[in-house]
């Protein structure tokens, strides 16, 4: 066996120790896991969707992508966790209209701000519906407005609580269409739909997918949706814009955010994987079932959505002086 000098042995050991540190950053990243923080409890539609997206992203990135649920305080717990996470792309937030745009606009003591996040990718968006009980004497938006204006009392509409998209949208609708409205808060969508079915509540803004079977069964009537264009899955339902109310174009959305300061090349790699995931047929089918639409692009697409939300919901919140603790 050939012998080596002490100097040679020292050089070999130093080289072995230095090799992993000198490996390309992308190799080290692929040896780790990526966690997508869902700020809601397991079992919901967003949780299910994000698990499908995580699986598809893992295939593109060639590394594990896992979902970690951190529910609490209307998305604040999970969002704050990501805002303080390492700036290396290993922890992402499944953000949305509520946790991001509305929390920032509604809460003075929020433990994070939009500047704490880097936009990674928009994923999807969904419209609200203008749904009434089938016994209501209205078959389209025009006759609905006439009916609402002719009442001797406000029109009662279902919300998911103060400051929710449904609450704010109802205020906008009443102002735009010119009649009085009163919000009625429910703990969840199914509860609000049941009250609309019974006639206790006059109007519901649930997603088209949540009410379509009741509409097809003749119990409810979907008069319009709030999307920019008609939905491919419900082409028979007109938009509020084409019904004469373009100012009531609105949506709720889901996206991926990283901690601010995450390197641009890392964000770009994650964006590519997210966009690829949204093209998967199985995810498209899941979105259709949930009444959602693919909405992808570069990170600045998400920046634009955040700015749009501030311009849409901000004035309503300010005018009504809505503040949540």
Q: What is the CATH number of the domain that holds 142?
A: 3.40.190.10
Residue with tokens 């570069």: 298
91 in the same domain as 109: yes
Secondary structure class of 295 (helix, strand, coil): coil
Inside any domain, residue 88: yes
Q: What domain range includes position 295?
A: 22-126+251-320
CB 219: neighbour CB atoms within 10 A?
16
pLDDT of 11 strictly over 80: no
b/e for 7-21, b at 16 or more Cβ within 10 A?
A: eeeeeeeeeeeeeee
Give the torsion sign (CA, 128, 123, 288, 245).
Answer: positive
Distances (CA, A) of 27 to 20, 23, 59, 121: 10, 7, 16, 23
Inside any domain, residue 13: no
At 87, the pLDDT band (50, 70, 90 cuts) reads very high
Among candidate residues 216, 248, 280, the one where a domain is terminated: 248
Inside any domain, residue 15: no
Residue with tokens 């419209």: 127
At 313, the pLDDT band (50, 70, 90 cuts) reads very high
Q: What is the mean pLDDT of residues 47-58?
A: 97
- 257: tokens are 């955010």
Q: What is the CATH number of the domain that holds 257?
A: 3.40.190.150
Give CA–CA dist 38/94, Å, rounded. Answer: 5
pTM for this predicted structure: 0.86
237 in the same domain as 139: yes
267 in the same domain as 240: no
79 in the same domain as 63: yes
Q: What is the mean pLDDT of residues 20-29?
A: 38
Count of the separate structural domains present in the chain? 2
Among candidate residues 217, 248, 279, the one where a domain is terminated: 248
Please write the tens of the pLDDT for every residue from 206-260. Answer: 999 999 999 999 999 999 999 999 998 899 999 999 999 999 999 999 999 999 9
261 in the same domain as 112: yes
- 312: tokens are 């849409």
């Amino acid at each position: 066996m050939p012998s080596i000098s002490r100097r040679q042995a020292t050089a070999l050991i130093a080289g072995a120790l230095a090799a992993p540190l000198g490996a390309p950053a992308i190799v080290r990243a692929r040896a780790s896991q990526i966690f997508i923080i869902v700020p809601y409890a397991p079992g919901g539609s967003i949780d299910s969707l994000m698990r499908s997206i995580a699986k598809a992203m893992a295939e593109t990135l060639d590394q594990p992508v896992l979902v970690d649920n951190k529910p609490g305080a209307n998305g604040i717990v999970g969002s704050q966790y990501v805002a303080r996470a390492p700036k290396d792309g290993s922890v992402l937030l499944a953000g949305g209209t509520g946790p991001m745009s509305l929390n920032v606009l509604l809460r003075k003591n929020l433990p994070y701000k939009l500047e704490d996040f880097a936009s990674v990718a928009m994923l999807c968006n969904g419209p609200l519906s203008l749904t009434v009980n089938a016994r209501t004497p209205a078959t389209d938006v025009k006759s609905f407005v006439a009916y609402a204006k002719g009442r001797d009392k406000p029109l009662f509409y279902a919300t998911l609580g103060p400051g929710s998209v449904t609450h704010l949208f109802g205020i906008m609708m009443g102002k735009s269409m010119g009649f009085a409205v009163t919000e009625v808060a429910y703990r969840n969508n199914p509860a609000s739909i049941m009250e609309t079915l019974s006639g206790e509540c006059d109007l519901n803004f649930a997603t088209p997918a949540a009410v379509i079977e009741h509409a097809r069964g003749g119990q409810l009537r979907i008069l319009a949706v709030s999307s920019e264009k008609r939905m491919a899955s419900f082409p028979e339902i007109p938009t509020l814009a084409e019904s004469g109310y373009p100012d009531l174009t609105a949506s709720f959305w889901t996206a991926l955010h990283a901690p601010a300061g995450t390197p641009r090349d890392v964000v770009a790699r994650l964006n590519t994987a997210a966009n690829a995931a949204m093209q998967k047929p199985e995810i498209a089918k899941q979105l259709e079932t949930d009444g959602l639409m693919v909405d992808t692009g570069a990170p600045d697409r998400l920046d634009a959505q955040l700015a749009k939300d501030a311009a849409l919901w901000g004035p309503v919140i300010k005018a009504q002086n809505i503040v949540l603790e």
